[in-house]
Amino acid sequence: MSVATQHVLQVRDKIELSDIERRIFDRLLASLRHFNLQTQVRVAGGWVRDKLLAKDCYDIDIALDNMMGTEFAHKVKEYLVSIGEGKDVRGDGKIKSNPDRSKHLETATMRWLDMQIDFVNLRSEEYIKNSRIPSKLDSRECLVLLSMKQSFGTPEEDACRRDLTINSCLVVHGSLFYNIHTDSVEDYTKRGISDLKSGRIVTPLPPKATFLDDPLRVLRAIRFGVRFEFTLDEDLKVAAACDDVKDALAAKVSKERIGKEVDLMISGNQAVKAMTHICDLTLFWNVFSLPPVFKPAISDGCERLCVAYLDTAWNLIHLLKESTFKDKERRFLLFAALFLPLKNTTYQVKKAKMVPVVNYIIVDSLKQKGEDAKMVLDLHRASHKFLSLIPCLASNEDLQPDDVDWMRGLIDDVSIASRVRVLTGLDKVWEVKPLINGEDIMNVLQLKEGPLVKEWKEKSMAWQLVDPSRTTEECIDWLREVNSKRVKLE
């Protein structure tokens, strides 16, 4: 069965409401009647898309044709209170600032019946050069959010200014609407449902114009494409890879928003495919931007090697079926694998200090936490301990100690693969503290500081990882025993 046929079979012809959704929409209509409000209430793209795909959705975006979201949200809560149902409403209709979702002063939010409900007006807007953030002047607060002229719009105008025909936009809605007055789906671009059924990622307007208005849409197209296993439209790919769009991505989109999209890709169900798209569209170094000066030089095709390492880590994580990776641990492992080819590349900061370029990518290019960068760099420092284990873990047969150089002499009676599998997995390795330090090793083995001490530190950590329940005393006993055997052999 082809991909397109699968999507046809999965897309519903009509939206089936849950009891909670039906109750919410009934109360919204009742609020209109109670206050004699002459406005049309629609649910916007993301919820509509997910319902047509028979997926659960707990966020409802309400689009209004001639009212501000805050005004209507206040009326809804007032009505719920009047009928004795307001006690469970969380939020009072005031603006909840959320730059990550590009919400602005006209947007209101509330939580009711375990559903997040957002309210916003339909819009017609145009973006101002060099910014992707819609602007709105609020005279009470004298706040100018630079970038866009905005006014009330029709559903058709609102649909065409969105990112994808199948999708909800960052601001709220998409080309698909659900009209709660008529209990029907509205597809104002005339393509949303057909693109959904055929499994295609398409923009409502010409893709280059769409991306130049808001270059972040390139990354959203990739993320939603891999999330739903849809195909990127060929014209969309050409536009995404053009220099004008790349320049706009750097000039108009904040690093925080780029980092958020990348984080969602890495944490999603198709991280490798997402990064492959970024490579294919020649966007890798636009997304993971580097400092102006670094060394050594990065070789041509390094981005492909980064994705290949990510692919290996992805396969290894799924191979270790008995290991339990928490979401954050899986995320760190994948980021570490993606940037592993860059582990020895550095750049200079103040006072001639050399810093790994990976730190720059995570903290400056993606605006992630410094703790995230530290965790990835810790994994890089420990990476050589695991690279030689990959054949062992990937093999159906147990390998013996002689097959892995750094484990030779550490285990005599049990194969490596069996021992490794008693671990909780590699997920906590960067949190493990050594049982002994360099000073302990020098005292036990009567060594002076030097390469041998470092070698024994690595061997002792490897011994420790085989069985995390071992103690410091046992480690010292093992160290003496192994060293004694080594001396006799010499």
Average pLDDT per consecutive 10 residues, the chain (490 residues; last block may be shorter): 44 92 97 96 89 90 90 94 92 54 61 92 56 39 32 47 45 67 89 87 90 93 93 96 96 95 95 97 97 94 94 83 74 94 92 90 97 92 66 49 44 41 47 83 87 82 74 90 71
Contact of 321 with 358, CB cutoff 8 Å: no
| Alpha helices per DSSP H over 118-198 | 155-160, 192-198
274 phi, psi to nearest 5 deg: -65, -45
Could you tell me the strand order of the sheet in which 59-64 lies? 108-112, 115-121, 59-64, 41-43, 176-179, 184-187
Contact of 115 with 24, CB cutoff 8 Å: yes
Domains and CATH numbers, the chain: 3-196 (3.30.460.10), 206-287 (1.10.110.30), 302-387 (no CATH), 403-489 (no CATH)
Q: How far is CA 154 from the centre of its chain?
A: 33
Q: How far is CA 28 from the centre of its chain?
A: 33
CB atoms within 10 A of CB 157: 15
Quote the pLDDT of residue 432: 67
Quote the pLDDT of residue 453: 87
Quote the pLDDT of residue 94: 58
Quote the pLDDT of residue 160: 44
Output the six-digit token pair for 147.
Answer: 């970038």
Under DSSP, the state recorded for 345 is -
260 vs 128: CA distance, rounded Å: 23
Output the six-digit token pair for 126.
Answer: 């145009």
219 vs 201: CA distance, rounded Å: 12
413 vs 35: CA distance, rounded Å: 80
Beta-strand runs (E) in 92-166: 108-112, 115-121, 123-127, 137-138, 143-144, 148-152
Q: Fill in the amino acid letter for 317.
A: I
Tell me which residue has tokens 């959203």.
Answer: 220
Q: Are strands 59-64 and 115-121 parallel, antiparallel or unpaired?
A: parallel
Buried b (16+ CB within 10 A) or exposed e, 7-42: beeebeeebebeeebeebbebbeebbeeeeeeebbb
